[in-house]
Structure 1
Amino acid sequence: MNISESLPIWRALEGADVENSGSLHFNSKADGSSTEVKVMIEYNPPGGMAGALFATIFGEDPDRQLQKD
């Protein structure tokens, strides 16, 4: 199976605690041995830059959460 697509795409509903959107990108290896998954996220943290810094300091930023998963 050859996978080379960008699905799904999402956007948070109006009124969400954190405004965010993103997409998943799948690319299979030429030999079919595995599939690379790339996650693209954009978000507007509560509190702006100060909120983003606070989240990073306490390990709650999206980059670190994705690494844990």
Structure 2
Amino acid sequence: MKAKDLKAESIYVCSTPQGDIHVLFYGMSQDKYVFIPYDLQKRHYNGRPNGLTEKEVSKQIKSMAQA
């Protein structure tokens, strides 16, 4: 997925070496895109925020999650 297509406060599927996880796109922090791990079933955050560069977003963010 391209970084320009991200929508704030939307949930996406992120592909990591440990497997796919759901993340909430929170916005930008300087030059990084901020994502927070999110539990769809419990509807709450379940991890600390992390920042991805535009190149990492295109590799790891696969699609918008179906809630």
More strand by share: 2
Larger radius of gyration: 1
More helix by share: 1
The higher-RCO structure (CA 8 Å, 6+ apart) is 2
Give TM-score, length-normalised by structure 2. Answer: 0.28
Give TM-score, length-normalised by structure 1. Answer: 0.27
